[in-house]
Amino acid sequence: MKTVLNVFIALVLFTNISFAQVGWTIDPAHTNARFEVKHLGIAIVDGAFTKLEGTVETANATNFDKAKVNFSIDVNSINTRVQMRDDHLKSDDFFNAEKYPKMTLTNATLNQGKGGFVLTGDLTIRDVTKKVTFQVKQNGGIITDPWGKTRAGFTATTSINRFDYNIKYNDKLPTGVDAVAPTVEIIVYVEAVKN
């Protein structure tokens, strides 16, 4: 009986070790969520969100395949270096930051692909949630920083149609060209720290 009990305890311990998750936290000081959009059909306007947070869960500390990712961005932190434009972007023409202060990426899974990772999850902007896929490149592997913390860096890119998310501003030039293009390029530079 004692032997059976010992085997059972060993199996429980092995199972817990096998399925233990490794937690990572997004380092906001070294993470940057950026966007680019064509303006008047001739130029690119870019900006960033300066307040964000996120978590990653991996099966172990050496591989991000099948990692679970959740991300949240403070819409009021938008910064395009022009206050009048930032205020307009926070209005109901665009994000309506007063009513919808957060953008989120939830239920996201990072899968190893050819030449990088693919991240697929639910992106919520305003009152719309849609599945979105990011192409993700790991930058330089996993390292130990000078203070003994384990870190990993990634670059994630995708594009969305802003009209899909009820970002409805639609002024056009007399020629019919969009003042602000529907397609928005998103670039996220992420640095994650193991908990």
DSSP H/E element including 120: strand 116-125
Mean per-residue pLDDT over the chain, rounded: 92
| Contact predicate 64/43, CB 8 Å | no
CA-nearest of 185, 182, 188 to 164 is 182
Q: Assign 83 to helix, strand or coil.
A: helix
pLDDT at 16: 46
Q: Assign 84 to helix, strand or coil.
A: helix
CA-nearest of 56, 19, 53, 20 to 142 is 56
CA-nearest of 2, 119, 7, 11 to 71 is 119
Tokens of 18: 């096998």
pLDDT at 3: 59
pLDDT at 1: 56
Reported as a pLDDT band with limits 50, 70 and 90, residue 6 is low
**Would you say residue 8 has pLDDT above 80?**
no
Tokens of 79: 């910064």
pTM listed for this prediction: 0.87
pLDDT at 105: 98
pLDDT at 158: 98
